[in-house]
């Protein structure tokens, strides 16, 4: 019973991000991708319930080691970072190919867990791409794990979609994309942090995985800041809540947004 | 350009996101084919024509009755191999992102996920996307090799007006996988009846820490109901357990862009702003005149939400005749 949970480091969600000399820039620290606080915790909860092994993985340069170490501090057993200079400027398909090859190399993985999406790119396609490349079932937008039986090779989950909640059962191996509802996040203990700080994280290159980097088929051409909204507020005042409400309602009817 | 649109439907109606995707495809391509999967989907096929499809590829089968990623991905990939479209689009809904994400790997075809705008430059699909939950915008481009994929953010593209006189050719195809070959089973669906999904809502009324507790959302819900809108919430209220997570707007919740966003008792942390700053008109109601939310707002009211919000509900009831 071997679970892989996938993470990356992203800027703190409170970071003020600007575009300087054409690239996104911020002062705040990198943190574990906020959605992964839930997926990593869920992996550790499942490890405890099922006596499974959890490997936390990231694809990327050394800046992702802190996210991996946070995973170790929370209770993941091992961390592996996949990286190769040939992957600089990779697109999501190249990412997924490298990740899928690394998961295959582990050999005995039957469950892979991702957080909902990457908070930096705002994309979740890597979840579905990785699943298809592995030939695993994919269950995205999972809000609840109803049952998991490694022995029987089955899993049942609740998925949150736009119109409600769907219950789906599947055979393992499977890839899950999990939402915040899945669990309450755990934070590292002092002892966990100390132990993780000493961990040497192995780095697997493309030659270790026996694959080529390929070339990106999707490229970011430029970055920009969204148009500013500041400075346009009109305060509505009045003698009574009723008067304020009437003035505001008039304004909104004029805006034709109702 | 030959463009396919994977459509989805619910309660025997074509999804709004699919109507928008067909509309976007029409503005980019000369030949738009809608893919309609499900069981007894003839009404959906007609709707796809009404909203602009020139042709429909239909797969009508019991194995496709409920959405499941595996048979849907396999079928879209097979149709793409057989018919060689230049591009496949879908709404960036939960299901749309799953389907085209999977198809991307099956066809080794790149995908622009959750795009805000779309164009074709030298035959290459080119998009505006949001990074860091909208704090930064990117211009991204595909290489133009093979089939090109994109999912389109809800409300970022315009659907055409329905024209019920339109129709076209319907091609029927068989599913790729039989029930025995599918490893997943859909075991039930619990709909959120009467609730409008946040990402599709034209109007959102949101409550923040200022509502004070679970019952503080009552006036927020009443105003949303009168306006025909959805109820949103800040992370603080969700973390406090006052309202379910489905309502959370912000960087770790939903990113929304309604025509009208009313923020009541929300101070406007940067994470919340990231989720709603693209709303057309923002109204902020807050006791604290210094709250950062006022910097984003078009209209502001410094006051008690428990006085202002019910007064607004009353006034709109009268003005909108409800």
- Residue spans of the domains in chain B: they are 2-181, 198-319
Q: What is the pLDDT of residue A231?
A: 66
The DSSP letter of residue A29 is P
Report B:1-40 residues touching A (Cβ under 8 A).
10-11, 15
Closest A-chain CA to B300: A235
CATH number assigned to the domain comprising residue A72: 3.40.50.620
Pick the CATH number of B198-319 from 3.30.450.40, 3.30.450.20, 3.40.50.1220, 3.40.225.10: 3.40.50.1220
> Of A102-106, A208-212, B179-183, B253-257, which gets the smallest average pLDDT?
B253-257
Q: What is the pLDDT of residue A209?
A: 98
| Structural tokens at position A53 | 């092994």
Contacts of A58 (CB under 8 A, 6+ apart): A6, A7, A8, A9, A64, A67, A68, A79, A81, A82
- Strands (E) located in B1-43: 2-6, 9-10, 13-14, 31-38
Closest B-chain CA to A123: B113
**Chain B hits for A230, Cβ within 8 Å:** 295-296
Q: Any chain A CB within 8 A of the CB of B76?
A: no
Residue A201 contacts residue A58 (beta carbons within 8 Å): no
Q: Which of B97, B135, B260 sits opposite A257 (nearest CB)?
A: B260
Residue A216 lies in a domain: no
Residue A252 lies in a domain: no
Using CA atoms, how far apart are residues B251 and B246, in angstroms rounded to an integer? 13
Q: Which of A120, A168, A180 sits opposite B252 (nearest CB)?
A: A180
Closest Cα of chain B to A115: distance in Å?
11
Percentage of residues in chain A with pLDDT exceeding 70? 99
Contacts of B42 (CB under 8 A, 6+ apart): B60
A167: closest CA among B63, B191, B14? Answer: B191
Q: What average pLDDT score do residues B248-263 get?
A: 94
Closest Cα of chain A to B92: distance in Å?
10
Q: Any chain A CB within 8 A of the CB of B134?
A: yes
Percentage of residues in chain B with pLDDT exceeding 90? 93
Report B:253-282 residues touching A (Cβ under 8 A).
255, 259-260, 269-271, 274, 277-278, 280-282
Q: What is the pLDDT of residue B322?
A: 63
Residue positions counted in chain B: 322
Closest Cα of chain A to B52: distance in Å?
24
pLDDT tens, residue order, chain A (258 aa): 999 999 999 999 889 999 999 999 999 999 999 999 999 999 999 999 999 999 999 999 999 999 999 999 999 999 999 999 999 999 999 999 999 999 999 999 999 999 999 999 999 999 999 999 999 999 999 999 999 999 999 999 999 999 899 999 999 999 999 999 999 999 998 999 999 999 999 999 999 999 999 999 999 999 999 987 766 899 999 999 999 999 999 999 999 998
Asked if A137's CB is within 8 angstroms of B100's CB, the reply is no
**Which residues face B302 on adjacent strands?**
B286
B87: closest CA among B61, B58, B107, B63? Answer: B107
Closest Cα of chain A to B46: distance in Å?
22
Residue A217 contacts residue A95 (beta carbons within 8 Å): no
Using CA atoms, how far apart are residues B156 and B37, in angstroms rounded to an integer? 24
Q: What is the pLDDT of residue A229?
A: 72
Q: Which of B17, B75, B136, B281 to mutate to test the interface with A (most CBs of A within 10 A)?
A: B136
Residue A245 lies in a domain: no
Q: What is the pLDDT of residue B191?
A: 87
Three-state DSSP class for residue B32: strand
Q: What is the pLDDT of residue A228?
A: 79
Asked if B66's CB is within 8 angstroms of A180's CB, the reply is no
Q: Which of B105, B131, B252 sits opposite A128 (nearest CB)?
A: B105
Q: Any chain B CB within 8 A of the CB of A220?
A: yes
Which H helix or E strand runs over A147?
strand A137-149
Q: Any chain B CB within 8 A of the CB of A251?
A: yes
Q: Any chain A CB within 8 A of the CB of B68?
A: yes
Prediction ipTM score? 0.94
Q: Any chain A CB within 8 A of the CB of B132?
A: yes
Q: Which CATH class is domain B2-181?
A: alpha beta
Closest Cα of chain A to B184: distance in Å?
4
Average pLDDT, chain A: 96
Report B:200-229 residues touching A (Cβ under 8 A).
200, 202-203, 227
pLDDT tens for residues B88-124? 999 999 999 999 999 999 999 999 999 999 999 999 9
Q: Any chain A CB within 8 A of the CB of B93?
A: yes
Closest Cα of chain B to A249: distance in Å?
7
Tell me the count of A-B CB pairs closer than 8 A.
276
**Residue A162 exposure: Cα atoms within 13 Å on the Cβ side:** 22
| Structural tokens at position B99 | 């389907």
Residue A257 lies in a domain: no
**Chain A hits for B136, Cβ within 8 Å:** 17, 19, 24, 223-226
Using CA atoms, how far apart are residues B76 and B79, in angstroms rounded to an integer? 5
Distances from the Cα of B35 to the Cαs of A125, B45, B54, B99, in angstroms? 20, 9, 11, 12
Asked if B294's CB is within 8 angstroms of A233's CB, the reply is yes
Q: What is the pLDDT of residue B195?
A: 74
Residue A217 lies in a domain: no
Residue B101 contacts residue A124 (beta carbons within 8 Å): yes
Closest Cα of chain B to A53: distance in Å?
24
Q: What average pLDDT score do residues B154-181 get?
A: 97
Task: Give, to the nearest 10 degrees, the angle between helix B94-107 and helix A125-134.
Answer: 50
Domain, as residue range, for A165: 2-209
Q: What is the pLDDT of residue B252?
A: 87
The DSSP letter of residue A62 is G
Residue A87 contacts residue A99 (beta carbons within 8 Å): no
Residue A45 lies in a domain: yes
What's the structural domain count of chain A?
Answer: 1
Q: Any chain B CB within 8 A of the CB of A167?
A: yes
Task: Verify cis geometry, omega within 30 degrees of 0, for the bond prior to A173.
Answer: yes
Q: What is the pLDDT of residue A230?
A: 63
Residue A246 φ/ψ, nearest 5 degrees: -65, -45
Whether the per-residue pLDDT at B5 is higher than 80: the answer is yes
Residue A218 lies in a domain: no
Using CA atoms, how far apart are residues B232 and B225, in angstroms rounded to an integer? 12
pLDDT tens for residues A104-162? 999 999 999 999 999 999 999 999 999 999 999 999 999 999 999 999 999 999 999 99
Closest A-chain CA to B133: A122
């Amino acid at each position: 019973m071997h679970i892989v949970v996938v993470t990356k480091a992203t800027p703190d969600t409170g970071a003020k991000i600007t575009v300087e000399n054409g690239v996104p820039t911020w002062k705040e620290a990198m943190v574990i991708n906020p959605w992964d606080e839930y997926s990593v915790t869920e992996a550790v909860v499942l490890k405890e319930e099922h006596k499974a092994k959890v490997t936390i993985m990231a694809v990327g340069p050394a800046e992702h080691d802190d996210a991996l170490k946070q995973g170790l501090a929370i209770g993941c057993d091992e961390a592996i970072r996949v990286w190769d200079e040939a992957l600089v400027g990779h697109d999501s398909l190249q990412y997924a190919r490298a990740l899928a090859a690394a998961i295959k190399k582990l050999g005995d993985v039957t469950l892979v867990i991702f957080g909902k999406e990457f908070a930096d790119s705002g994309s979740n396609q890597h979840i579905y791409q990785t699943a298809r490349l592995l030939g695993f079932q994919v269950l995205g937008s999972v809000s609840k794990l109803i049952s998991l039986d490694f022995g029987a090779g089955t899993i049942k989950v609740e998925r949150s979609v736009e119109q409600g909640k769907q219950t789906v059962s599947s055979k393992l191996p499977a890839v899950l994309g999990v939402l915040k509802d899945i669990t309450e996040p755990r934070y590292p203990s002092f002892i966990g942090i100390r132990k993780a700080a000493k961990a040497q994280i192995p780095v697997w290159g493309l030659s270790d995985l026996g694959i080529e980097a390929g070339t990106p088929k999707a490229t970011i051409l430029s970055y920009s800041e969204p148009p500013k909204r500041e400075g346009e507020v009109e305060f509505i005042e009045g003698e009574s809540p009723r008067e304020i409400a009437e003035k505001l309602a008039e304004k909104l009817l004029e805006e034709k947004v109702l | 350009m030959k463009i396919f649109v994977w459509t989805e439907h619910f309660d025997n109606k074509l999804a709004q996101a699919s109507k928008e995707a067909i509309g976007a495809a029409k503005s980019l391509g000369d030949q738009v084919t809608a893919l309609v999967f499900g069981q007894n989907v003839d009404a959906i096929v007609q709707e796809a024509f009404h909203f602009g499809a020139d042709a429909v590829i239909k797969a009508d089968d019991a194995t496709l009755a409920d959405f499941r990623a595996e048979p849907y991905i396999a079928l879209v990939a097979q149709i793409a191999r057989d018919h060689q479209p230049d591009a496949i689009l879908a709404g960036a809904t939960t299901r749309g992102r799953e389907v085209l994400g999977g198809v991307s790997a099956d066809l080794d075809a790149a995908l622009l996920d959750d795009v805000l705008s779309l164009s074709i430059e030298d035959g290459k699909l080119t998009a505006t996307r949001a990074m860091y939950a909208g704090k930064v915008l990117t211009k991204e481009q595909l290489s133009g090799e093979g089939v090109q994929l994109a999912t389109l953010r809800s409300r970022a593209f315009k659907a055409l007006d329905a024209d019920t006189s339109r129709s076209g050719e319907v091609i029927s195809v068989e599913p790729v996988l039989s029930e025995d070959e599918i490893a997943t089973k859909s075991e039930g669906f619990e709909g959120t009846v009467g609730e409008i999904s946040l990402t599709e809502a034209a109007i959102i009324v949101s409550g923040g820490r200022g509502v004070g507790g679970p019952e503080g959302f009552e006036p927020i819900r009443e105003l949303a109901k009168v306006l025909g809108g959805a109820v949103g919430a800040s992370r603080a209220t969700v973390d406090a357990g006052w309202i379910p997570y489905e309502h959370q707007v912000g960087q770790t919740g939903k990113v929304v862009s309604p025509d009208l966003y009313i923020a009541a008792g929300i101070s406007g942390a940067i994470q919340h702003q990231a989720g709603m700053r693209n709303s057309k008109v923002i109204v902020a109601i807050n006791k604290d005149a210094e709250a950062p939310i006022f910097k984003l707002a078009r209209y502001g009211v410094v006051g008690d939400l428990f006085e202002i919000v019910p007064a607004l509900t009353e006034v709109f009831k009268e003005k909108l005749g409800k």
